[in-house]
């Protein structure tokens, strides 16, 4: 493999505490190394910003509901197609890009790892086929557990060992990465036309509450010692007043301690926090609850969060929170798709336009920015748009502009039709904080990598780590004349390396890299009861056999990278 040296760049690396010093980064055989030979290829990064490849902790980029969005929204591709050029295949789609465009766009912005946030286990094969067809970036997928019949039946009797054994089996069967919960109990209740809007609403038939599911899955997660914490989209998403449900959910993590060998320090990850930080009683008195939620998270160190920034675009919402999508369709009257996934989960899809002329959308935009600006520890708060729910991931450079520049935020606030309402219902106008490049590296690299249990591998530039490196045309020594320059610089990298291979040069794709599928292989003690239960459910209820269920082999996972976990001694 070739050697590279990235010379004279301003390096920002939270893993080593480097805050913009001029340093050379050496790459050899896919890894960051201390030094390389004189024959190494030189990349001139003078007056440029150098960071590790960015890590996406939560996006919907592969699988049946993403593809349902693509299929039922031909208008999303209408004027957003790019023809074949250079290394690139043709691509299309604005809020739900094709797999190829997804890989290219992430890479061009300096992202080298991304997590698909909700994999329906029954359709893991579809998820992996799309991951396989998404070039360059390493990807993992989180199977959803929060409405799973096995989990609810075991946890009803607090059978943690059985829950953990089932989780381990499912992670292996679906090549999954982490335990994801979406609207615990609520999506199953949706099968009865109901929902669970608080953590104490009983799930019909199963006679269990969301609180019991959440606590039980945290316990199972720590029993196994998985790389990532339990990753949750709580109940009552997107409703005025939902911040109280969010706080109730976060309090369930109190008292739990991490147990893992991957350097992870938290037991719960709260995703798309913006959608869960609403105060008020209706859309008229709707206001921000960002302060209440971030105050709690600032004080309680066993939680990490991501933001879910609204980007003010036309987009496609999609979630395993089936009842929420039905509710949303009732609000905007646009087309609604809904899928039930047998014993496991469901999903809904509805297009949505976050209009700067609608006060609720503008307030949502402000809440998404308040959260990272109010979070004291950037290592526990990560930037996402919950792609494509609050906006497409291709808008990250714009979110970064708003976070790094008060001037840019003020310009957007002034452009809103209901500016006064945004200022009265949120505190965005009084937040002067501007995120530094070092904090940005924490929020998009070191932080998410650590939360995912990947801190030894990516998110930093320490010798021995994977050589995932992004070089931006951004000179930190020069004052920013126009905030739009920030957006331009973070949109297209000068150079990107993925595992030591240069994949982007001057904003163009130059290699499709060596994409890997990350998954977690957990070994547990033999558990005949769980194996019998699985067999029985396949015989009695599933519409397919176990042999057709598992995502195995080269077709689905051509280049796997398994994180091994030994839980046999647990």
Which residues contact another protein by CB under 8 A? Answer: 72-76, 78, 333-335
The residue (of 74 and 255) whose beta carbon lies closer to another protein is 74
Best CA proximity match to 443, nearest among 260, 267, 289, 307: 307
Q: How many CA atoms are closer than 13 Å to the CA of 332, on its beta-carbon side?
A: 22
b or e along 311-333 (b: 16 or more beta carbons within 10 Å of the residue's beta carbon)?
Answer: bbbebbbbbbbbbbbbbbbeeee
Least distance between another protein and beta carbon 320 (Å):
23
- 7: which strand partners? 44
C-alpha torsion 5→7→12→16, nearest 10:
50
Q: Quick one: DSSP state of residue 418?
A: T
The residue (of 72 and 542) whose beta carbon lies closer to another protein is 72
Question: How many angstroms separate the CA atoms of 140 and 35, rounded?
Answer: 31
Burial (0-12, 13-18, 19+ Cβ within 10 Å), 334: middle
The residue (of 266 and 316) whose beta carbon lies closer to another protein is 316
| 519: helix, strand or coil | strand
The residue (of 337 and 431) whose beta carbon lies closer to another protein is 337
Number of helices and strands in the chain (H, E): 19, 24
**Entry field: residues in the chain:** 570
Least distance between another protein and beta carbon 85 (Å):
12
Least distance between another protein and beta carbon 243 (Å):
31
Tokens 């999954």 locate to 176
Contacts of 437 (CB under 8 A, 6+ apart): 10, 12, 20, 49, 51, 404, 474, 476
The residue (of 21 and 75) whose beta carbon lies closer to another protein is 75
| 410: helix, strand or coil | helix
Question: How many angstroms separate the CA atoms of 229 and 266, rounded?
Answer: 6
Strand 345-353 with 495-498, pairing: unpaired
Strand 230-233 with 180-182, pairing: parallel
The residue (of 78 and 539) whose beta carbon lies closer to another protein is 78
Question: How many angstroms separate the CA atoms of 317 and 281, rounded?
Answer: 23
The residue (of 78 and 544) whose beta carbon lies closer to another protein is 78
The residue (of 77 and 450) whose beta carbon lies closer to another protein is 77
Least distance between another protein and beta carbon 362 (Å):
22
The token duo for 296 is 């709690």
The residue (of 333 and 554) whose beta carbon lies closer to another protein is 333
């Amino acid at each position: 493999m070739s050697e590279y040296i990235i010379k004279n760049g301003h390096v920002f690396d939270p893993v080593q505490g480097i805050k913009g010093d001029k340093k050379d980064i050496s790459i050899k055989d896919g890894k960051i190394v201390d030094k390389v030979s004189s024959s190494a290829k030189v990349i001139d990064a003078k007056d440029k910003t150098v960071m590790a490849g960015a890590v996406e902790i939560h996006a919907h980029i592969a699988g049946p509901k993403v593809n349902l969005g693509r299929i039922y929204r031909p208008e999303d591709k209408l004027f957003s197609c790019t023809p074949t050029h250079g290394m690139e295949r043709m691509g299309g789609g604005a809020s739900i890009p094709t797999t190829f465009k997804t890989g290219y766009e992430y890479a061009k912005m300096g992202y080298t790892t991304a997590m698909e946030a909700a994999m329906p286990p029954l359709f893991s094969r579809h998820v992996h086929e799309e991951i396989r067809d998404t070039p360059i970036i390493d990807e993992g997928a989180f199977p959803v557990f929060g409405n799973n019949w096995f989990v609810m039946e075991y946890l009803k009797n607090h059978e943690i060992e059985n829950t953990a054994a089932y989780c381990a089996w499912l992670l292996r069967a679906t090549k999954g990465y982490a335990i994801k919960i979406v609207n615990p109990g609520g999506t199953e209740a949706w099968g009865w036309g109901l929902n669970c809007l608080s953590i104490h609403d009983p799930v019909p038939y199963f006679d269990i509450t969301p609180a019991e599911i959440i606590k039980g899955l945290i316990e199972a997660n720590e029993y196994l010692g998985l790389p990532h914490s339990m990753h949750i989209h709580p109940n009552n998403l997107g409703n005025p007043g939902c911040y109280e449900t969010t706080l109730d959910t976060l309090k369930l993590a109190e008292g739990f301690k991490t147990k893992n060998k991957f350097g992870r320090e938290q037991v719960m990850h709260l995703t798309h926090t913006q959608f869960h930080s609403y105060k008020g009683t209706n859309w008229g008195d709707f206001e921000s609850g960002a302060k209440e939620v971030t105050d709690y998270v600032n004080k309680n160190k066993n939680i990490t969060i991501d933001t879910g920034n609204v980007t003010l675009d036309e987009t496609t919402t999609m979630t395993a929170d089936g009842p929420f999508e039905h509710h949303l369709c009732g609000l905007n009257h646009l087309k609604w798709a809904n899928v039930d996934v047998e014993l496991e989960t469901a999903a809904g899809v509805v297009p949505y336009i976050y209009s700067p002329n609608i006060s609720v959308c503008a307030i949502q935009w402000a809440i998404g920015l308040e959260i990272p600006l109010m979070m004291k520890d950037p290592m526990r708060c990560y930037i996402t748009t919950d792609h494509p729910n609050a906006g497409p991931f291709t808008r990250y450079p714009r979110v970064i502009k708003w976070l790094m520049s008060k001037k840019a935020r003020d310009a957007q606030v002034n452009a809103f039709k209901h500016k006064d309402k945004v200022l009265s219902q949120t505190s965005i106008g009084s937040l002067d904080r501007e995120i530094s490049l070092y904090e940005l590296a924490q929020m998009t690299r070191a932080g998410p990598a650590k939360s995912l249990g990947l801190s030894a591998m990516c998110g930093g530039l320490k010798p021995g780590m994977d050589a995932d490196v992004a070089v931006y045309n951004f000179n930190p020594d020069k004052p920013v004349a126009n905030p739009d320059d920030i957006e331009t610089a973070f949109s297209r990298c000068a150079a990107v390396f993925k595992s030591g291979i240069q994949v982007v040069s001057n904003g163009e794709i130059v290699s499709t890299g060596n994409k890997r599928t990350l998954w977690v292989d957990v070994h547990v003690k033999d558990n005949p009861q769980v194996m019998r239960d699985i067999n029985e459910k396949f015989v009695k209820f599933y519409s397919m056999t176990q042999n057709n269920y598992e995502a195995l082999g080269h077709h689905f996972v051509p280049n796997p990278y398994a994180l091994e976990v030994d839980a046999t001694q647990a």
